[in-house]
Structure formats: C-alpha cells, structure tokens
A and B are shown apart, each in its own frame.
Chain A
C-alpha cells in the first residue's frame, strides 16, 4: 500500500488534536476521512469511514481516475477505472469504476457502444449495485 501511495500521492496526515482548523477548511466532519485532491487543493474524491486495505486502495485508484476525468484526460481516466475493476473486483468501488470507465471510453471515442458495454458488464457482475441501475438507461 505504501508503494502505491508514494508513487501517486503526497500523503498528508491531519490529526484532530494537532490541526483541528484544517478539518473545517476541508470540510472533514468525521474520521477517518480520506480526500484525493489536486495540488491546488481541489477535491476529486472523498471516502469517509474505515475501509480494509483492498477497499481503501480501490478508493484511491478511483480517485485517480476521477482526477484524470476532471482534467479531460479520458484515456488515462479509463485506465485508472479499469485498474480498480481488475485489481479489486470485490471492492464496493468496482461497480462505480465500471460505470466511469464506460463514460471515459465514451468521452474518448464518442461511441455510445462503450456505455452499452459498461451497462452489460454491470448487469452481469454487479446486479445489485446502484451503478447498475444508473447505467440501465444505456441498454434497451
């Protein structure tokens, strides 16, 4: 985990007893809260509450995908989202990653088939997920 974190992030620990003012600054209302942010402080993803290691790593990868997506780097975003699905298929972040991988592929290619494929994958792998419901409009 530390390798992944140091490769992609500058990790900052903000303890409630040391820097309570920063909880308000970043609107952290409960612990643990993890925020993936750009160097200018713009938040790209947030996870609240304890998670086991694999779920945590999946959230961080999801955050990298969302950051790339927000910057318009849709191919890079797609790769990050696909990495979540490939490495952490059982994580709660996985169906969300399938959804956004489909949207990223659509944005990159302008082919609606990417959305349809994502919806089919969600229906097959994650039938109970809210993301499957959200993607249901992409398939007839």
Chain B
C-alpha cells in the first residue's frame, strides 16, 4: 500500500486543498511518533 503523504500544517493543507480542488482530511492524533 502506498504511503500517505501527510501535511503537518493545517493552513498549508487548506491552501493545497484550495489549489487542488479537494477536501481536507484533518487527522488529530496522539499516537506515538
């Protein structure tokens, strides 16, 4: 399975979504890094 390329900054993600015409998926996590 291909890896998901997560954006780490929500504002950057929103900007990218605007440019790409996509929705944003915000994943709030506390899993060990």
Contact = CB atoms under 8 A, between A and B. Distances in A.
Interface of A: 1-3, 5-6, 8-19, 22-23, 25-26, 28, 31-41, 44, 60, 63-64, 67
Interface of B: 1-10, 12-18, 20, 22-31, 33
B29 A14 contact: yes
18 contacts: A10-B13, A10-B25, A11-B4, A12-B7, A12-B24, A16-B28, A16-B29, A19-B9, A26-B28, A32-B30, A32-B31, A35-B24, A35-B26, A37-B23, A37-B26, A38-B24, A39-B18, A60-B25
Contacts, number: 128
